């Protein structure tokens, strides 16, 4: 009997250990599975769109080729200072998911702090978008069917493009997906207690805060936006809902998708988590 009890206790303890690590273990498994799938995709890497070494993008193509395909145009995060287009959380689930559904998936790099401030980074994103649209038909993509997507700082940059028409005057897109944006209302962040990275990105000039604030740049006529936000982060969903209300008051379609996920999980699990991915896909389908 004691042996049975000891065995039962061991099983319970093992189960508890597994559950306590379920999130990280699940993420590792997702990354490994997606890495295998991504390695099988056709990829064109380091296509230049400017003279700086950071001004490059990668193009992931459907295995069976494409014809007039829609495009996901992905901008990585990293606090406006770090990050990269080929990071696992950026591409390893998204690229296989979208290319399997006959999308072309483009992931870009751009100049970083301190060499380029967020406004200049947004200009890089606009330049990359223009270059990709000019070459879209080479990859079987339709230049009129681009969707902007970004995570964290990258979500801030695509939201800024989506709301400020002066940044990308020659480009068009169907909509924008903001994955847990690093900043939607920049003055609101800067006037409250905040992390140092915001000072490094936005400085101390309130005029610049407004210039690079998607909420303040918002104008009527913007294309639809989906704002995914983490309920685990302070202010993330509040800023998303404030932005959506301002957009709707300007007759701009804006939807908020709250997720009980960490900031990183919102990036990593798109393309792997069925319910979350389905909700984003429903928004994308509505743009066609």
Q: What's the CA dihedral at 77, 78, 80, 83 to 10 degrees?
A: -90
φ, ψ (nearest 5 deg) of residue 286: -70, -15
φ, ψ (nearest 5 deg) of residue 81: -125, -30
Q: Give the percent of the chain with pLDDT over 90.
A: 83
Of 57, 166, 77, whose CA–CA distance to 118 is shortest? Answer: 77
Residue 245: is the preceding peptide bond cis (ω within 30°)? no
The pLDDT, as a whole number, for residue 288 is 75
pLDDT, tens digit (0-9, with 9 covering 90-100), for 81-140: 999 999 999 999 999 999 999 999 999 999 999 999 999 999 999 999 999 999 999 999
Distance CA 197, CA 160 (A): 18
Distance CA 82, CA 216 (A): 26
pLDDT, tens digit (0-9, with 9 covering 90-100), for 147-178: 999 999 999 999 999 999 889 999 999 999 99
pLDDT, tens digit (0-9, with 9 covering 90-100), for 37-95: 455 569 999 999 999 999 999 999 999 888 999 999 999 999 999 999 999 999 999 99
Contact between 175 and 223 under an 8 Å Cβ cutoff? The reply is yes
The pLDDT, as a whole number, for residue 47 is 99
Domains with residue ranges and CATH for the chain? 2-287 (3.40.50.1820)
């Amino acid at each position: 009997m004691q042996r049975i009890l000891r065995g039962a206790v061991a099983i319970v303890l093992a189960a508890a250990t597994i559950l306590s690590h379920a999130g990280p273990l699940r993420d590792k498994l997702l990354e490994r599975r997606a890495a295998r799938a991504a390695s099988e995709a056709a990829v064109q890497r380091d296509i230049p769109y400017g003279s700086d070494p950071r001004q490059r993008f990668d193009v992931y193509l459907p295995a069976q080729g494409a014809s007039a395909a829609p495009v996901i145009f992905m901008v990585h995060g990293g606090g406006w200072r770090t990050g990269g287009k080929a990071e696992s959380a950026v591409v390893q689930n998204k690229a296989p998911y979208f290319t399997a559904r006959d999308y072309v998936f483009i992931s870009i790099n751009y100049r970083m702090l301190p060499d380029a401030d967020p406004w200049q980074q947004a200009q890089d994103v606009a330049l990359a978008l223009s270059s990709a649209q000019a070459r879209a038909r080479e990859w079987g993509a339709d230049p009129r069917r681009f969707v902007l997507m970004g995570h964290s700082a990258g979500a801030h940059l695509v939201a800024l493009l989506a709301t400020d028409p002066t940044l990308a005057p020659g480009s068009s897109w169907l909509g924008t997906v903001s994955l847990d944006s690093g900043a939607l209302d920049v003055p609101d962040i800067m006037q409250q207690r905040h992390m140092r990275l915001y000072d490094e990105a936005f400085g101390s000039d309130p005029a610049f805060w407004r210039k690079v604030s998607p909420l303040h740049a918002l104008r009527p006529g913007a294309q639809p936006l989906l704002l995914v936000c983490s309920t685990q982060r302070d202010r993330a969903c509040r800023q998303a809902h404030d932005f959506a209300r301002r957009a709707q008051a300007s007759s701009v379609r804006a939807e908020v998708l709250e997720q009980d996920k960490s900031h990183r999980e919102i990036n990593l699990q798109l393309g792997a988590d069925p319910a979350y991915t389905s909700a984003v896909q429903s928004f994308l389908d509505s743009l066609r």
